[in-house]
Amino acid sequence: MATRNRYEDLARSVSAIGAVKRGLARALPVECQGGSAAVLALVSHHGDMRTSRLAELMAVDMSVCSRHVAHTVEHGWIERLPDPDDKRSRILRLTEPGHAMLGELDRRVTEAFSRHLAEWSDDDVELLTHLLVRLRESFGDCRAHHA
């Protein structure tokens, strides 16, 4: 019974992360919300890639990913280049304005955390960071499994 209650409490706490994510979303520029921000972050982190690979990384349907990519292309943050291995495909690349927007996103999110966690000790922030990484790793590649 104690194990069940421990996981029930955890489930309630994890569901509250939605409120944190909504709070962080309010810190983002209106023109670059969650999906677009994810595109920029993933292309920056993983390098140039096809939209199909990006959809895998985002764990979303191709149509959803394509809409987010189109938005970033319209704003000049991502460019679509011919794939040298397959001329029918396109490679996504972060542009200089994309790097600048990613810097702005990082700054805003960091400021939001700094503001909301100002009373937390450095050790508490470090512990939370460590535990969130560990939680994510425990779930592995969630895209491969459906409940």
Name, in order, each residue with C-beta under 8 angstroms of 108's C-beta and a sequence gap of 6 or more. 27, 28, 29
Q: Is residue 37 part of a domain?
A: yes
Answering whether pTM is above 0.95, one says no
Please tell me whether residue 124 adopts helix, strand or coil conformation: helix
- What angle (nearest 5°) sits at the alpha carbon of residue 119, between those of residues 116 and 122? 100
Q: Would residue 128 count as lying in a domain?
A: no
100 in any annotated domain = yes
Q: Report in angstroms the alpha-carbon separations of 19 from 13, 15, 101.
A: 11, 8, 24
Residue 55 lies in a domain: yes
Within a domain: residue 21? no
Given a cut of 50, is residue 90 above it in pLDDT? yes
90 in a domain, yes or no? yes
Report the CATH number that the domain containing residue 49 is assigned in CATH.
1.10.10.10
H or E element: which one contains 89?
A: strand 86-94
% pLDDT > 90, the chain: 73
To which H or E segment does residue 139 belong? helix 122-139
Whether residue 141 lies inside any domain: the answer is no
Domain containing 92 equals 26-114
Q: What percent of the chain has pLDDT over 70?
A: 93
pLDDT of 118 > 70? The answer is: yes
Residue 133 predicted with pLDDT over 70: yes
Q: Are 72 and 81 in contact (CB under 8 A)?
A: no
Could you tell me if residue 146 is inside a domain?
no
The better pLDDT of the pair 143, 101 is held by: 101
Say how many domains are in the chain: 1
For residue 77, the 8-state DSSP code is S
Q: Would you state the pLDDT for residue 145?
A: 47
Strand order in the sheet with 78-83: 49-50, 86-94, 78-83
Given a cut of 90, whether residue 68 has pLDDT beyond it is yes
Residue 142 pLDDT class (50, 70, 90 cuts): low
Higher pLDDT, 101 or 89: 101
The pLDDT assigned to 75 comes to: 98
